[in-house]
Amino acid sequence: MALPQQDHDELAISDSGKQNYLIPFILVTSLFFLWGLANSLNGTLVKQFQTALDLQRWQANIVETAFYLGYFIMALPAGYVMKKLGYKMGILLGLILYAAGAFLFYPAAEVRMYSFFLAALFLIASGIAFLETAANLYVTVLGDPKKGDFRLNLAQSFNGISIILGPVIGGFFIFSDKEYTREMIQALPAAEAEAIRISQASSVQMPYLLIGAVVAFVAVLFAITKMPEVGVKTKEVADSTKITIAGLLKNKHLTLGIIAQFCNVGAQVSLWGNFVDLKIDLAKESNLWIVQQIYQTTSDMSATQIASFHASFAFVLFMFGRFIGTYFMGKHASNKILGIYSIGAVVSLVIAIMGGGVIAVVALMMVYFFQSIMFPTIFALACKDLGEGSKLASSLIIMSIVGGALIPPIAAALFKVSTGAALVVPLICFVFIVYYSYKGYEISTKTVN
């Protein structure tokens, strides 16, 4: 997920001479594509590991836990490295960690050790934490300061494209044409079951080897390209050393914003990681006409492959939701747009829980649309009017991404009860965001030290 820009109005390229920033901009923009791809492939892994590694659904969801723990643990160290060594070195370190994690998928699939896969995912996420910390700010200062927001939106569009591609890669290159479930494989003779699991595990090797190679290639390009460094443009007005976490948390809108972001990411990952299973649970035989037309699905494809293309189309709705929401935010208060979108997510989930079949699948896909603006909007509302405290506050909000590690296993465990019971978890999360949109965002105390 792309993190919002932070206090970049105080920063600028330290080079005083004129320079063509096109190549550096293209390279930094590629980072948005790369981390979006890793995020969107996690849902494919959650489904694939259930058969390849003989895991229950809640166990497979630990994929998300390992991934988002990487974000949580590396958020502050990434900022420290950027400050001490510069943005280019931080990006290079992030790319190295990302590539190393992707390459580790090959031996992990050979030995089929779940802990090995989780360690690889943790490395990938750790690398992405560095990339996100640098890229969102970097891209805004590579050129005319007045066009910084335009460059950021342009770069983020590539993040959206890669998110859509993730499930497509899963459908074509990872999921088998023949449908297997964990129960089906357990009923087979031991030798046949083992052969299927080996085949299922090895299917992730080539996609991640290719991703690792691309990431390594981008790292080489960064290493040989002269990248301008970011320096301080104006002096700090306030003494940031006097700002404390305890003082910041006295700001009610920040504290509630951290909780809202925790809920938002937790709900998002719960749905993204389990969408393929959810689609199969709710409407296994259904194939929406628009999905069939766009992705040219056929009756020869397995239910899992077809479900992955539905997941890809849900990400298309996510992109539309972001564009539409951004347009209306230019005309109305952002908290009101957030409120409308969060109510839409609640209503959509209620329909999915109460209904079934195609209607429930469409309702789940609409949740993607309504959730599209939540991360950046909650971020901005929570940091509002904090002055110098916004720097530390932004780190606290970034750390709330750990909701993506803690909430999904709870939702996955409830699948044992029913699909509806599992969906209650993200529903509760969105209800809290509704509250934050209309009441919790209000600024009552302004204490930052």
Over residues 175-219, the pLDDT tens digits come to 877 777 777 888 888 888 888 889 888 999 999 999 999 999 999
- Give percent of the chain above pLDDT 70: 87
pLDDT value, residue 108 = 95
Q: Which of 179, 207, 235 is the last residue of a domain?
A: 235
pLDDT value, residue 9 = 45
Q: Which of 182, 206, 235 is the last residue of a domain?
A: 235
C-alpha–C-alpha distance, residues 413 and 313, integer Å:
26
pLDDT value, residue 391 = 65
Assess whether 228 and 351 both reside in one domain: no
Assess whether 256 and 228 both reside in one domain: no
Question: Quick one: DSSP state of residue 441?
Answer: T
Average pLDDT over every residue of 124-147: 78
For the beta carbon of residue 78, count every other beta carbon within 10 angstroms. 25
Average pLDDT over every residue of 14-41: 79
Assess whether 203 and 261 both reside in one domain: no
Contact of 186 with 193, CB cutoff 8 Å? yes
Q: Which residues contact 439 (CB under 8 A, 6 or more apart)?
A: none
Instruction: Please provide the DSSP assignment of 215-244 as one string.
Output: HHHHHHHHHHS--PPEEE-S--SS-GGG--
* Poorest-pLDDT segment among 62-66, 168-172, 428-432: 168-172
- For residue 374, what is the enclosing H or E element? helix 374-383
Mean pLDDT estimate for the chain: 84
Q: What is the pLDDT of residues 345-380, one digit of tens each?
A: 999 999 999 988 899 999 999 999 999 889 888 888
Is the pLDDT at 236 greater than 80? The verdict is no
| Dihedral in degrees, nearest 10, Cα atoms 121, 122, 128, 130 | -160
User: pLDDT confidence of 443, banded at 50, 70, 90?
Assistant: confident
Q: How many domains does the chain have?
A: 2
Question: Quick one: DSSP state of residue 414?
Answer: G
Instruction: Please provide the DSSP assignment of 191-202 as one string.
Output: HHHHHHHHHHHH
User: pLDDT confidence of 19, banded at 50, 70, 90?
Assistant: low
- 402 burial type by CB count under 10 A (0-12 exposed, 13-18 middle, 19+ buried): buried
Give the predicted TM-score (pTM) of the model. 0.80
pLDDT value, residue 22 = 81
For the beta carbon of residue 217, count every other beta carbon within 10 angstroms. 13
C-alpha–C-alpha distance, residues 115 and 55, integer Å:
12
Assess whether 152 and 249 both reside in one domain: no
Tokens of 44: 């494919």
Assess whether 195 and 282 both reside in one domain: no
- 191 burial type by CB count under 10 A (0-12 exposed, 13-18 middle, 19+ buried): exposed
Instruction: Please provide the DSSP assignment of 336-404 as one string.
Output: HHHHHHHHHHHHHHHHHHH--HHHHHHHHHHHHHHHTTHHHHHHHHHHTT-TTHHHHHHHHHHHGGGHH
- For residue 86, what is the enclosing H or E element? none
User: pLDDT confidence of 58, banded at 50, 70, 90?
Assistant: confident
Assess whether 296 and 177 both reside in one domain: no
Assess whether 56 and 169 both reside in one domain: yes
Q: Cα–Cα–Cα angle for 76, 85, 147, nearest 5°?
A: 80
Average pLDDT over every residue of 415-438: 95
Tokens of 101: 């994690």
pLDDT value, residue 223 = 92
Is the pLDDT at 283 greater than 90? The verdict is no
Average pLDDT over every residue of 332-351: 94
Residue tagged 């208060």 (tokens): 333
The residue segments making up the domain with residue 436 are 241-449
Total length of the chain: 449
pLDDT value, residue 214 = 95
Assess whether 80 and 126 both reside in one domain: yes
Could you tell me the CA-to-CA distances from 111 to 13, 100, 154 in Å, in that order? 47, 17, 41
Q: Which of 235, 257, 282 is the last residue of a domain?
A: 235
Could you tell me the CA-to-CA distances from 211 to 20, 98, 216 in Å, in that order? 29, 9, 9
Assess whether 304 and 434 both reside in one domain: yes
Assess whether 125 and 246 both reside in one domain: no
* Poorest-pLDDT segment among 83-92, 288-297, 335-344: 83-92
Is the pLDDT at 14 greater than 60? The verdict is no
Contact of 313 with 290, CB cutoff 8 Å? yes
Contact of 412 with 61, CB cutoff 8 Å? yes
Q: What is the pLDDT of residues 383-406, one digit of tens each?
A: 887 776 766 777 788 788 889 989
Residue tagged 């750790």 (tokens): 126
Assess whether 283 and 215 both reside in one domain: no
- 202 burial type by CB count under 10 A (0-12 exposed, 13-18 middle, 19+ buried): middle
Assess whether 230 and 367 both reside in one domain: no
The CATH number of the domain where 358 resides is what?
1.20.1250.20
C-alpha–C-alpha distance, residues 247 and 449, integer Å:
5
